[in-house]
Each structure stands twice: as structure tokens, then as C-alpha cells.
Structure 1
């Protein structure tokens, strides 16, 4: 038992956000395996609260175009080539993680928390396969042009846009220090 815990603890501590991908494609099979394991995140509802839209291969153009539609004309003229190159050539995968926008606050919070746990599962599982992930919550996630261009349905919330790909381990940043848990605990034990 102890060996497994140490392996998980090491993965949790060593995982980093990756913004610099090496361009090597990630196969559909690997992506499906990762998602099939990630969906084992806990959820409170009777049904799993998430849905995915995955942009891979030539489908990345649709993602790039949807992002560019959220830019002003001036910004689009200035950045279109760089954005297109990054989203269509450099980053191998774009994944939208979606939940339903519930009318009841408690259900929405539970779905959001569950989807966040799923994203963390995915980040850790991907890291073990040397696939990096950056979890973005950009303004374009709420933009109607982006949502329509990517296939987000009315009544859905984008919990995160995940950019994924293989990376050069030599370029991974060092960890920032964390506050020791014992300094954050209020003990109530009697």
C-alpha cells in the first residue's frame, strides 16, 4: 500500500502546468484512455455532470477560428497569424470541459466541483504519460462567438479549456513552495 501512496504523492507534487509543447501529436487512443480514467472523479448527482469537446488534428482550426472571432478587428489583424500557428500547429489538443448550468446553486456548485476534480485527475494521469496540460479559464470561454464556434450548447458552462501535449522535461519549471498544511489547520479534537 505504501508504495502506491508514494507514487501518487510524487505525481501530485511533481506535476506542473505546461505551456511549451514539443509538437508531437497525442493519439486519439491515448486521449480516450485518459478521459476514461479521469471520469472516475466523484460527483454528487445521479448522472455525471460533464461533457467534452475535443479539438485534435485539423479540428484545431475550428478552435483557433473561434478564439479569433472573440478578438477586435485590430487585435485580430495583429495576432491572427501567431494565434493560428499556436493553436493549429504547436498545441496538439484543445479540450473543453463542460457542465450544465443548473438553476439551483447547490447543484451547480457540486457539478463545478466534480468537473474540477475530473480536470485534476486528467492532469495527473496525463503527467504520468509525459503529457502536459494547461488549464485555462480565459474570457473567451464566456464569449457567445467562441461558444457558438466551438459547439458549446446554450445552458452549458465551460469549466476549463485544457491545452495538452507532450513536452520537453528539461523545460519544466521548478515548483513554487507550498504552505505547510500544519500551519493552515484549526484543530478541533476535543
Structure 2
């Protein structure tokens, strides 16, 4: 492993959406590796705030139905989109697995909450880079329905859902472009 390999891996990372998934299952062993790699994210005061709920099989349909029902419940009729409703269900059905990304707040609140959110996001980045290295598609979604997940999962006191990490196999011959602005426009040398 060298810096150039890591740089290329980071630049290759993409959001691969469920519409591109092939339906080929992702193994339980791979999912276990993902969350193990996530567990090595930086964590101030070793609070290790990340929590993961891995949804597979029939539970994906239940999650899709719950998210669709919640979307319908919380969205005013004039803003309700049949397209979005269908997409919510289809995303869950197309994924091989969905990992609910949760954060457990340090009960002693020894550090600011944003640091625990950031640590959880770094754990997700570890999963994302692992998927990239294994040529497995994934993306992080944080729809408004995450605020209602205590009715679907048994969340601990101080735990909240930050989003969903959709995972699925995809056609690796397909190119997924990305772009970034120039770094020179985002830095100041002092």
C-alpha cells in the first residue's frame, strides 16, 4: 500500500444508486468486513458513537413500506410525489442490504455532539472506501424519514438514525463520473 494507491481509491469513490444494482447478493462476510472497517474510524475520547443496523432479505421490503408510509404521513398532499414514493420502495428492493447509520450520543456528553456525528461519518467513509475497493456499489441517503426511525427500530436512549447506506452489486464496466472544483479555490496558505 502506498500514497498513490490510497489517492486513487479516494478519487474512485462514487455514489452508486440502487437503480444501477444488478440484484446479485452481497455476502454476509463482506457486510461484516464493512462494519469492522467502520469500527476503526477516528473517535475522540474513544466514544465510538457509530451503531449499525443491517437490513437484508424480507426486512428490506418492510423498511421500504415503512419509509413510504412515513413519507406519505409527513408530506403535505400538495407536495406528495408518486415518483418519489415509488423510488423509496424500489431503492430498498433493489439493494442487497441497507445499513441504518445510527449514532449513540455519549451519555456523559464529554464531547460536543458534532464530534460524534463527524466520527460516525468517518466510519461511513471507511465503509464507502471498502465498497469502492471491492467494486460494490453504495450510497448514503438521509431522507426526512430518518427522524421517525424509533418506530421501526428499537433505538437506545440517546441513539438516533443519521441515514441509510444502500449496498448492492453493479456492472463494474459502467463508468460513474464525478467532478470537484479546484482545491486552490478552497485553501488559504498562512
How high is the TM-score relative to the length of structure 2?
0.83
Contact kept? 2:138, 2:166, Cα under 8 Å? yes
User: What is the CA deviation profile of residues 2-23 of structure 1, one whole-angstrom value per residue up to 9, with x for unaligned ones?
Assistant: x521111001001110012111
| Structure 2 unaligned residues grouped into runs of 5+ | none
Aligned equivalent of 1:122: 127
**In structure 2, C-alpha distance between the alignment counterparts of 1:81 and 1:159, rounded to whole Å:** 22
Q: Which moved more, 1:27-36 or 1:150-159?
A: 150-159
Contact kept? 2:71, 2:85, Cα under 8 Å? no
Aligned equivalent of 2:3: 5
The alpha-carbon distance between structure 1 residues 27 and 184, as it changes in their structure 2 partners (threshold 3 A), is: same
| Structure 1 unaligned residues grouped into runs of 5+ | none
The alpha-carbon distance between structure 1 residues 160 and 177, as it changes in their structure 2 partners (threshold 3 A), is: same
Equivalent residue of 1:150, what SS?
Answer: coil
Q: Which moved more, 1:23-32 or 1:45-54?
A: 45-54
Residue in structure 2 matching 1:87, options 85, 92, 97: 92
Matches within 5 A, 1:97-112: 97-101=101-105, 104=109, 106-112=111-117
How high is the TM-score relative to the length of structure 1?
0.83
Is 1:96 matched with 2:94? no
Q: How many residues align?
A: 182
Equivalent residue of 1:185, what SS?
Answer: coil
Matches within 5 A, 1:1-190: 4-19=2-17, 20-72=20-72, 83-88=88-93, 90-101=94-105, 104=109, 106-143=111-148, 146-180=149-183, 182-188=184-190
The alpha-carbon distance between structure 1 residues 45 and 168, as it changes in their structure 2 partners (threshold 3 A), is: same
How far does residue 25 in structure 1 lie from its aligned partner after superposition? 0.6
How far does residue 47 in structure 1 lie from its aligned partner after superposition? 3.2
